[in-house]
Amino acid sequence: MFTVRTPRVVAARRLHRRRDRDESGRFLAEGPQAVREALKAGVVTELFATAEAAARYPEWSASLVDDAAMEALADTVQPQGVVAVCRQRDIPLEQALVQAPRLVAVCVDIRDPGNAGTVLRTADAAGAKTVIFAGDSVDPYNGKAVRSSAGSLFHVDVVRARDTAATIATLQAGGLQVLAADGYGDADLFEVATLDRPSAWLFGSEAHGLPKDLNADLRVRVPLYGGAESLNLAAAAAVCLYSSAKAMRGVQ
């Protein structure tokens, strides 16, 4: 049984650091839901489990670790007993566009990993095939982001792109209209007539929103009918993406 000092466990623990994730091209997926989807996606390079967890999931071939090793591998207060080392899945934007996605979510300078994972999950649920992390965005392979995605990280094409302006230009050249979710946008979401077109939605951080100089085709606001000052990022992304999904499917 592996312990915290076993070299393979020591190597996997390093993946809690972004630098080591970037250098190795690997990351950790924790918990049965994430592990199950990672296995389906074929990206697991190693699987660790406690004896108790291994008994619950006999179909998984895992290296057994003691409780102390699992606590070191896990990123949660109460580990669920299984952690997988996975290959990172991001691809170049041009490769993602070869599949002509009709709906794309773009996170611009989003710093909160929980928000990043929630946007991944929401985009997947709405039928978006690509999620882009542009500019100075959080690492989508951060442990909290992976958990918050609830397995959706393994269902969509993930793109990381530092140059936001170039990303928008590439999306537009690929035939997508670029819609910026902006609480002060000129267009009311429920009055936009082009939501049935292939679209890329831009979502900014809750603290700062989207930069004003981004060359979006349209800045769109979600109307607020009550006394709330704004929607949080996850709620705004859900409303915008599902509005597009509905229009693209011709639902009245």
Label each residue of 43-86 as H, E or C.
Answer: CEEEEEECHHHHHHCCCCCCEEECHHHHHHHCCCCCCCCEEEEE
Whole-angstrom Cα distance, residue 117 to residue 135? 17
* 0.85 surpassed by pTM: yes
DSSP state of 231: -
The pLDDT value given to residue 195: 97
Phi and psi, residue 188, nearest 5°: -80, 125
pLDDT given at position 207: 76
* Tens-digit pLDDT string for the chain (252 aa): 999 999 999 999 999 999 999 999 999 999 999 999 999 999 999 999 999 999 999 999 999 999 999 999 999 889 999 999 999 999 999 999 999 999 999 999 999 999 999 999 999 999 999 999 999 999 999 999 999 999 999 999 999 999 999 999 999 999 999 999 999 899 999 999 999 999 999 999 887 789 888 999 999 999 999 999 889 999 999 999 999 999 999 755
Q: Which two tokens stand for residue 145?
A: 């982001």
Identify the three-state secondary structure at position 99. Answer: coil
Q: Report the alpha-carbon distance of residue 150 to residue 117 in Å, rounded.
A: 8
Q: Which amino acid is at 96?
A: A
Q: What is the pairing mode between strands 199-204 and 177-181?
A: parallel
pLDDT for residue 7: 97
User: Residue 141, class by beta-carbon neighbours within 10 Å (0-12 exposed, 13-18 middle, 19+ buried)?
Assistant: buried
Domains contained in the chain, CATH given:
7-87 (3.30.1330.30), 93-248 (3.40.1280.10)
Q: Give the model's pLDDT for residue 151.
A: 96
Q: What is the Cα–Cα distance from 147 to 152, expressed in whole angstroms? A: 9
Q: Is 57 exposed, middle or buried (0-12, 13-18, 19+ CB in 10 A)?
A: middle
CA 243-113-214 angle, to 5 degrees, is 55
Q: Is 114 helix (H, G, I), strand (E, B) or coil?
A: helix
Structure confidence at residue 23 (pLDDT): 97
